[in-house]
Amino acid sequence: MRLLFVGDVVGRSGRNAISDILPGLIADYALDLVVVNGENAAGGFGITEEICQDFLDAGADVVTTGNHAWDQREALVFIERQPQLLRPANYPPGTPGRGATVAIARNGARVLVVNVMGRVYMDALDDPFAAADRELNACPLGSMVDAVVVDMHAEATSEKQAMGHYLDGRASLVVGTHTHVPTADHQILDGGTAYLSDAGMTGDYDSVLGMEKDEPVNRFLRKIPTARFQPALGEPTLCGVAVEVSDATGLAEAIGPVRIGGRLAEALPTFW
């Protein structure tokens, strides 16, 4: 099975990468399942129902989020009627929406997708390890589902690596999001779980984390806001990770970075 995970889509530039690049990628590589993190899709902050639908129309099967899940207040409402949109599973009980879903891949496989959020240098939600346990125990790999993808939305690489090892052997892929910078530590862990500390963002890298760079630089220099953060609108890089998953075990057989367009060095999966 061929999985693609795409990192945080930022603003219009990032959305253009999804609409312009993703459908061709799905066709060219015969991708079976695509997960897109959309927490920064609406002007850098949150996601709207229309944008979420655009991602699904472009071929995403599941859209994940993170700490920016509720920046567009409409998400609190439409997430209830959009089972393909996830928010972190470790929000307190009673939070709208869901933190996990089972998607049917193009090859017919059942894929559990789980979204959790770290607590180091972030809002302290409930324990993400316990939340991941709950979701994976409810839908175990090999019996209930054929593959498991976990989006660990977190700031600290230590917490993300710990999650990777904690879920090793129980997930096909544990991938970090949130930092908006791709890491180069893609690997298959001892138990067969593909792991990457951060998928990077999908957006304009001539920026500070996808935002037009003048105001972020100004705030570091002077500590006084002079303007709102606006997404950078230059040429986007679609950033993510590709994973070949064994049809027999649901564990990973290969993992490779994906970077297309914009100013980052191109990377395409070599094993497909």
- Please identify every residue annotated as catalytic: 68
Q: Which residue has tokens 């970075």?
A: 257
Whether 62 contacts 101, CB under 8 Å = yes
**Annotated binding-site residue? 39:** yes
**Annotated binding-site residue? 40:** yes
From the CB of 235, what's the least distance to Fe ion, in Å? Answer: 19
Q: Does 40 bind Fe ion (CB under 5 A)?
A: yes
**Annotated binding-site residue? 80:** no
Selected range binding Fe ion among 1-9, 108-116, 121-129, 166-174, rule: CB under 5 A: 1-9
Instruction: Give the span between the Cα atoms of 157 and 160, in whole angstroms.
Output: 5
* 14, 38, 66, 192: residue in contact with Fe ion (rule CB under 5 A): 66
Cα dihedral sign, 105-148-27-188: negative
Instruction: Give the span between the Cα atoms of 9 and 227, in whole angstroms.
Output: 22
SS3 32: coil
Phi, psi torsion values for 237, nearest 5 degrees: -110, 125
Contacts of residue 18, Cβ cutoff 8 Å, sequence gap at least 6: 6, 9, 36, 54, 55, 58, 60, 202, 238
Site for Fe ion in 67-106 (CB under 5 A): 67
Nearer to Fe ion, 98 or 178 (CB): 178
Nearer to Fe ion, 15 or 178 (CB): 178
Nearer to Fe ion, 117 or 136 (CB): 117
Residue nearest Fe ion, Cβ-based = 8
Tokens of 16: 């253009």
From the CB of 18, what's the least distance to Fe ion, in Å? Answer: 14
Q: Does 259 bind Fe ion (CB under 5 A)?
A: no
Site for Fe ion in 128-157 (CB under 5 A): none
Selected range binding Fe ion among 6-14, 91-99, 185-193, 248-256, rule: CB under 5 A: 6-14
**Annotated binding-site residue? 218:** no
Distances (CA, A) of 262 to 239, 243, 250: 10, 22, 33
* 3, 4, 8, 203: residue in contact with Fe ion (rule CB under 5 A): 8
Site for Fe ion in 163-192 (CB under 5 A): 178
Site for Fe ion in 204-223 (CB under 5 A): none
**Annotated binding-site residue? 123:** no
From the CB of 10, what's the least distance to Fe ion, in Å? Answer: 7
Cα R_g (the chain), whole angstroms: 17
Q: Beta strand 187-188 with 147-153: parallel, antiparallel or unpaired? A: unpaired
Alpha helix positions (H), the chain: 11-28, 49-57, 75-78, 128-138, 157-166, 214-222
Instruction: Count how many Cα atoms sit within 13 Å of the Cα of residue 27 in the half-sphere of its side chain.
Output: 6
**Annotated binding-site residue? 178:** yes
Q: Does 13 bind Fe ion (CB under 5 A)?
A: no
From the CB of 44, what's the least distance to Fe ion, in Å? Answer: 9
Give the interface with Fe ion as residue ranges (CB under 5 A).
8, 39-40, 66-67, 178
